[in-house]
Amino acid sequence: MVVGLLLIFLVLIGLSLWLRVRHYRDSVAGVETKPSPVALAVQELVATAGGVYLAIVALTSFLKLDMPDKVTLMAVGVDPLAVTAIVLAIVQPVFTRLAYKIFHR
């Protein structure tokens, strides 16, 4: 009997939570969220770094280069290909702008 009451109580709590979430979703359905510029910049950086990482991995695999799995930088072990991809993704806009200024005078 106690197990049955506990089961009914848990079902009622689950139903209550489901209804509250549904009501909350319906109340904010008309509100459009606007992503922040920082979130968009981080998203673009991660996407670019991911593409660069895949290209570097494919290149090292094709050329059969031996790369270490981890390199220790300031007592932190990191993947050297991932660090290279992130650094390239960070400096890429600088070089793009510099090349534009040099070649489009």
Convert the pLDDT of each residue in 55-95 to its tens digit.
999 999 999 999 888 988 888 899 999 999 999 999 998 88
Domain boundaries, the chain: 1-31, 34-105
Give CA 42 to chain center in angstroms.
Answer: 8
CA–CA gap between residue 62 and residue 56 (Å, rounded): 10
pLDDT at 45: 92
Q: How far is CA 14 from CA 5, 22, 23, 25, 42, in A?
A: 14, 12, 14, 16, 36
Q: What is the pLDDT of residues 35-60, one digit of tens each?
A: 888 888 999 999 999 999 999 999 99
Q: pTM, whole model, 2 decimals?
A: 0.62
Per-residue confidence (pLDDT) for residue 87, from 0 to 100: 92
Q: What pLDDT does 43 receive?
A: 92
